[in-house]
Amino acid sequence: KGKNVIFVAGLGDIGLDTSKELLTRELKNLVILDVRENTEGLCALKEICPETKVTFIKYDVTVPLDESKKVLKKIFDKLKTVDILINGAGILDDHKIEATIAVNYTGLVNTTTAIMEFWDKRCGGPGGIICNIGSVTGFNAIYQVPVYSGSKAAVVNFTSSLAKLAGITGVTAYSVNPGITRTTLVQKFNSWLDVEPDVAELLLEHPTQSTKECAENFVKAIEKNKNGGLW
């Protein structure tokens, strides 16, 4: 309530439902940074809560660190303070090695590093909260997509370190690690070197959750706000 939230990939599969859920919590501002331009989704979000200002800025997490800082500077200039950064950009396609790692890990690290300039208490900043979207594959790989799974293990490990640095930086962190969620991501995706052409079908035979269920639990985790938490 009354918070300013930046949500990277807030129009994505899990993102959009999580944004909807967040908007039932009377935020002050929800700034969505996304590479997608989902006008329809954005309009739907804007109608949920009249007290929350929803803004969209096109943002590709694979841009250099300095570009990320510029985007964030604009937001901080306008809002003055930001309470939470949610890093949710992710792709699942093990034919695309560079892109998978650049989006899922490097992009998340760069966006996190960029916001520290505004939050780090060593620079007089007020601190802040980082919520990173990992994946259960960071703990227990889907071995048919080893590149993706590895990138998520990196996110989990990175986030744990951020949490341990909170005493120094004033910035707390936790990760939300969804299990198999019925997103468009998992409807069809490439395994590494096609080791398992039917990986999507096989995966969906497991118990899965809807994006809405995922979103509800996601926002519960955000409300718990536990430094170092693994959800």
User: Which amino acids are annotated catalytic?
Assistant: 148
Span near its own copies by CB under 8 A; candidates 5-13, 23-31, 45-53, 190-198: 190-198
Q: Which residues contact 171 (CB under 8 A, 6 or more apart)?
A: 116, 119, 120, 121, 127, 128, 129, 130, 162, 165
Q: Which is nearer to its own copies, 117 or 216 (CB)?
A: 117
Positions 49 through 88 that interact with its own copies (CB under 8 A): 65
Q: Which is nearer to its own copies, 48 or 63 (CB)?
A: 63
Number of Cβ within 10 Å of residue 46's Cβ equals 16
Q: Which is nearer to its own copies, 54 or 115 (CB)?
A: 115
Q: Which is nearer to its own copies, 79 or 141 (CB)?
A: 141
Tell the burial category of 80 from Cβ atoms under 10 Å away from its Cβ (0-12, 13-18, 19+): exposed
Q: Note whether 105 binds its own copies by CB under 8 A.
A: yes
Q: Note whether 161 binds its own copies by CB under 8 A.
A: yes
Full DSSP string of 58-72? E--TTS-HHHHHHHH
Angle subtended by helix axes 146-164 and 107-119, to nearest 10: 20
Span near its own copies by CB under 8 A; candidates 4-12, 19-27, 46-54, 164-172: 164-172
Span near its own copies by CB under 8 A; candidates 13-21, 148-156, 201-209, 217-225: 148-156
Binding site for its own copies (CB under 8 A): 65, 97-98, 101, 105-106, 109-110, 113, 116, 120, 137-138, 141-147, 149-158, 160-162, 164-165, 168-169, 192-193, 195-196
